[in-house]
Amino acid sequence: MSTTVTLINVFTAKPGKQQELAEILAEGTRSFFSKQPGSLASSVVLGGDGGKVANISQWRSAEDVAAFRGDPRFADYMKTILELGTGESVMGHTSYSHTAGVEN
């Protein structure tokens, strides 16, 4: 099994804060997470309900995720996120994927 992990964070934004939360998540990816060792890919997804925002990222390993979460900048970043909403995180290995007609 691959050591590559997918990290899925689903946030519920405070009323009227969905777009701001999405923008902060995207900027955090551009300026911080994407530059961390082991970062492979990341997407920010706006929920159609006007309140949810998902941040889906793929990492080389769980150790790489732990390392970026241990960076002092991560705590400050999370304070900003938590001012805009609440969230939960799931980390695991992909057991099936489908991309443009290719199954993995």
pLDDT at 101: 67
| pLDDT band at residue 103 using 50, 70 and 90 as cut-offs | low
Token pair 């530059």 is at which residue? 35
Q: Does the pLDDT of residue 104 top 80, yes or no?
A: no
State phi, psi for 13 to the nearest 5 degrees.
-75, 150
According to DSSP, the residues that pair with 99 across neighbouring strands are 102
In the block, which residue shows the tokens 């969905």? 18
CA 29, chain centre distance (Å) = 8
**In this predicted structure, what is the pLDDT of residue 98?**
77
Which CATH number is 5-88 given? Answer: 3.30.70.100
Model confidence over 28-84: pLDDT tens digits? 999 998 999 999 999 999 999 999 999 999 999 999 999 999 999 899 999 999 999
23 contacts 79 by C-beta, under 8 angstroms: no
Domain ranges of the chain: 5-88
User: Going by DSSP bridges, is the β-strand pair 5-13/52-59 parallel, antiparallel, or unpaired?
Assistant: antiparallel
**Residue that wins the pLDDT comparison between 98 and 28:** 28
Its pTM stands at 0.87
